Structure 1
Amino acid sequence: MQLVSLNNTITLAMSVRDRHSSAEWYSSKLGFELLHHIDEAGWSEMLTKTEGVTLGLGEQSEPSPGNTVPVFGVADIETARGSLEAAGVRFDGETETIEGMVSTATFYDPDGNALMLAQDLTARG
């Protein structure tokens, strides 16, 4: 039985030292298109060549190579999180919200792999 209704989008989030430089690399080498840099959040997002898949670049001073976190888009993060928690899924802290942008919640699979739920809060029409 499916507990969470996903919205056919996924963001592959990875840690990088310099988001702007990394975005240039992904653009020139793989043809990804920059969607936005959100400097106050230390985040950049790129449109990949695969429909519904974006690449998120989170800036960290010491990134962990090979640690990519799949971020699954949901329409209602509170409902999705509640369903998973009720089924015994472990979350890492509270849901985080950047007003007018996104709400995210990190959770773990049985092997301790990090995954994330994200609700888009932008007013796209």
Structure 2
Amino acid sequence: MSLVTLDHTITIAMSVADRHASATWYESMLGFELLYHADEAGWSELRTNTPGVVIGLGEHTKPAPGNCVPVFGVVDLDAARQKLEQAKVKFDGETDVVEGMVKTATFYDPDGNALMLAQDLTGGIG
């Protein structure tokens, strides 16, 4: 039995220097489909060929090479975070909210690997 209820989506978040150029690369090289560019949030998403799995591109001036954070969709981020914190899981700061878009929280596994929970605030899943 798990502590949190996942929504059957996974976003593989990566740090990139130019989201638009990276999205074009993933479309042409791997056949992924651009879902959207959220320029105000510095974020883009592409649908992979695997159901429920998307690639998220976060734009940073100096992206960390090899940076990849699995993002697990959850139904209720606040409840999931509370349960994980009660189990002594370490989180990185406060929950981030982009109103009308997404709520996210970064946490760490026992080896210090970064993972993230995300709750869709758009009214749709995936």
Q: Same fold (TM over 0.5)?
A: yes
Give the gaps of 5 or more residues in structure 2.
Answer: none
TM-score w.r.t. length of structure 1: 0.97
What displacement does 1:123 show? 2.4
Alignment partner, residue 21 of structure 1: 21
Alignment partner, residue 65 of structure 2: 65
1:68-101 C-alpha deviation (Å, 9 max, x unpaired): 0000000100000001000000000010100000
What displacement does 1:66 show? 1.1
1:41-68 C-alpha deviation (Å, 9 max, x unpaired): 1000000000000000000011112110
**Which segments of structure 1 move beyond 6 Å, counting only runs of 4 or more?**
none
Distance 2:38 2:90 in 1: 28
Alignment partner, residue 103 of structure 2: 103
Alignment partner, residue 121 of structure 1: 121
Q: How many residues align?
A: 125
1:42 and 2:42 aligned: yes
SS of residue matched to 1:20: helix
What displacement does 1:5 show? 1.1
1:13-58 C-alpha deviation (Å, 9 max, x unpaired): 0000000000000000000000000001100000000000000000
Q: CA RMSD in A?
A: 1.0
> Which residue type is aligned with residue 63 of structure 2?
P
Distance 1:95 1:36 in 2: 23
